[in-house]
């Protein structure tokens, strides 16, 4: 461990410090590790995929509902939409927990 001078106040601080203990100047920004980056991008891609799936599914169903006279397509679309929302919520909770637990330490 070596000592460096703070660029803001000029006082001596450890080179491992993230902020200056005297003035609070941010010396280094904490970064995510390898697995933290993977979980963050999985979370983002999962949300994009689920939003696209719901959009595409509902646009395909709207064509079938327009020609269906029995109402079964409406019930099926509602069940499918509910299942997709449930899957989206569970996936977000699980991946969000991994993203939260792998965030950089301050």
Question: For 4-52, what is each residue's pLDDT tens digit?
Answer: 888 888 888 988 888 888 888 888 888 888 999 999 999 999 999 999 9
- Taking a C-beta distance cutoff of 8 angstroms, is the pair 84, 53 a contact? yes
Provide the β-strand partners of residue 54. none
- Taking a C-beta distance cutoff of 8 angstroms, is the pair 25, 6 a contact? yes
Question: Quick one: 48 exposed, middle or buried, by C-beta within 10 A (0-12, 13-18, 19+)?
Answer: exposed
Enclosing domain of residue 1 = 1-30
In this structure, the answer to whether residues 26 and 77 fall within a common structural domain is no
pLDDT tens across 43-85, in order?
A: 999 999 999 999 998 888 877 777 776 777 788 888 989 999 9
In this structure, the answer to whether residues 36 and 83 fall within a common structural domain is yes
Query: Is-above-0.85 flag for pTM?
Result: no
In this structure, the answer to whether residues 89 and 45 fall within a common structural domain is yes
In this structure, the answer to whether residues 24 and 38 fall within a common structural domain is no
Task: Indicate the number of domains in the chain.
Answer: 2
Question: Which whole number is the average pLDDT over 78-101?
Answer: 94
In this structure, the answer to whether residues 23 and 58 fall within a common structural domain is no
In this structure, the answer to whether residues 25 and 47 fall within a common structural domain is no
């Amino acid at each position: 461990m070596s000592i460096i001078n703070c660029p803001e106040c000029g006082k001596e601080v450890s080179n491992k410090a993230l902020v200056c203990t005297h003035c609070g100047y941010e010396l280094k920004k904490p970064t995510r590790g390898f697995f933290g980056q993977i979980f963050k991008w999985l979370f983002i891609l999962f949300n994009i995929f689920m939003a696209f799936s719901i959009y595409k599914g509902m646009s395909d169903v709207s064509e079938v509902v327009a020609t269906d006279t029995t109402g079964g397509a409406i019930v099926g679309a509602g069940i499918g939409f509910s299942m997709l929302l449930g899957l989206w919520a569970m996936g977000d909770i699980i991946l969000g927990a991994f993203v939260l637990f792998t965030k950089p330490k301050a």
